[in-house]
Amino acid sequence: MNLAKDMDAPELAALLHFYADAGVEWLVEDEPVDRFAQFAAQKAAQAEARAPASARQQPVSNEQAPATRPANAGPSAPKRAAPAGRASAPPPASAPVSVPDEQAVASARFAAESARSLDELKTALEAFNGCNLKNGARNTVFASGNPASGIMVIGPMPNADDDRDGIPFSGRQGQLLDRMLGAIGLSRDGALLTNVIPWRPPGNRMPSQAETDICRPFLERQVALAEPKLLLLLGNFPARFFFGGNGTIHSMRGEWRDLSFGGITVSAIATLHPQELLAAPANKALAWQDLLMFKMRFSGH
């Protein structure tokens, strides 16, 4: 086993990148935690919960406890009291309450429609507990950039970097997006950046249909409140979310479509996500064609 003190800087950097790619987000807690004691307490609590009610021991007060053992009590007589020095297991932590999907969607729609500004919408989203994705995320990733720019850039969902920083398009993907926008004369401050899903799914998995339906009212309300003229959709998931169908980004990219949000009409075009370009750099030529189309459209506004 190699210890950190035995590694040089490049080896440590490579190890940390490996952990990040594997989904490890932190190596130590802020405070020491005895995982063995936690596990033992959970096992004890589960065993007690599964035991029949008649078999569960009832606490016996000192006044009720017999002063002496009956003379005819055999060696197999059950013990009535636990040793004085043994501490009782702490109760297990309460799990988040599960909300039916239909009720969660209705609650999300009510919370989103009640917001009269982007700040109110952000507050409502941070207070919303109807989506189980929030339970495993570190941050609610709402948006960044300029809401008054008339341009929205929408990705699929936060990755590990976004979840850590609380900002959409962080890390390597964000750096590539910055270069993509810069190539057509835009910047982060010249657009509003956001994601379809505001919470990182565990292990970067795809959101379920129910999770997507719960998050939909918040994003649609965000678009309606920002009132952009143009949408730039990055990747399969946002394209399918707005355009419908099960096509791939290669079949949906490079074509302008008009969408309606709360009485406003917005023109949208889809292109490849920065992560797809990092995985397959040959596709950058396709993305460049889409970006040029996007530039031609916003330059006319």
Give the pLDDT confidence of 191-204 residue by residue, as tens digits: 999 999 999 999 99
Angstrom CA distances, 130 to 110, 213, 238, 241, 252, stand at 12, 11, 21, 20, 31
Beta-bridged to residue 271, according to DSSP, are: 234
The arrangement of strands across the sheet holding 151-155 comes to 143-145, 192-195, 151-155, 230-234, 264-271, 257-261
How far is Cα 301 from Cα 262, in angstroms, rounded to an integer? 21
CATH number at residue 129: 3.40.470.10
* Other CB atoms within 10 Å distance of the CB of residue 39: 10
pLDDT for res 66: 47
How far is Cα 194 from Cα 141, in angstroms, rounded to an integer? 8
Q: Is residue 53 part of a domain?
A: no
pLDDT for res 199: 98
Among the ranges given (55-59, 212-216, 229-233), the one the predictor scored with the smallest mean pLDDT: 55-59
Give the pLDDT confidence of 161-184 residue by residue, as tens digits: 999 999 999 999 999 999 999 999
Q: Is residue 180 part of a domain?
A: yes
State yes or no: pLDDT of 12 exceeds 80. Answer: no
pLDDT for res 40: 77
Beta-bridged to residue 233, according to DSSP, are: 154, 270
pLDDT for res 22: 52
Higher pLDDT, 88 or 123: 123
For residue 134, the enclosing domain spans 102-299
Distant-in-sequence, close-in-space partners of 4: CB < 8 Å, separation ≥ 6: 12
Under the banding of pLDDT at 50, 70 and 90, the label for residue 189 is: very high
Q: Is residue 26 part of a domain?
A: no
Task: Report yes or no: 245 and 260 within 8 Å, Cβ to Cβ.
Answer: no
Angstrom CA distances, 287 to 57, 76, 184, 228, 233, stand at 68, 79, 12, 21, 11
The pairing of beta strand 257-261 with beta strand 264-271: antiparallel
Q: Is residue 8 part of a domain?
A: no
- Please state, rounded to an integer, the average pLDDT across all residues of the chain: 82
Distant-in-sequence, close-in-space partners of 276: CB < 8 Å, separation ≥ 6: 235, 249, 283
Angstrom CA distances, 200 to 6, 23, 138, 140, 203, stand at 34, 11, 8, 8, 8
Q: Is residue 227 part of a domain?
A: yes
Higher pLDDT, 64 or 275: 275
Q: How many domains does the chain have?
A: 1
